[in-house]
Amino acid sequence: MQMYRVKATVSNDGTVTIKELPFRAGDNVEVIVRGYWREGERSWDYPLRGKPIRYLDPFKSVAEDDWNVLQ
């Protein structure tokens, strides 16, 4: 199976035109349209990605008040 990759821009009327494909007239082809995002544009997927991490008290016990043995 021969694959051909090209980047295209959607026009104002919502169509994409790809010219000069390396296939013969009448060949069956599969068309998959996938959005292309540049780095930083997909912040809605992982909103905390790239944000600084700050630990307020990294060595403090977690949920110490919840232990019945210590009371």
Distance separating alpha carbons of residues 4 and 31, to the nearest angstrom: 10
| pLDDT for the residue 27 | 92
CA distance to 15, 26, 28, 40, 41, per residue, from 21 (Å): 17, 12, 12, 31, 29
Distance separating alpha carbons of residues 21 and 27, to the nearest angstrom: 11
Q: Which pTM was predicted?
A: 0.44
| pLDDT for the residue 41 | 59
Averaged pLDDT, 24-53: 79
Going by pLDDT thresholds of 50, 70 and 90, the confidence category of residue 42 is low
Least confident segment among 21-30, 37-46, 51-60: 37-46
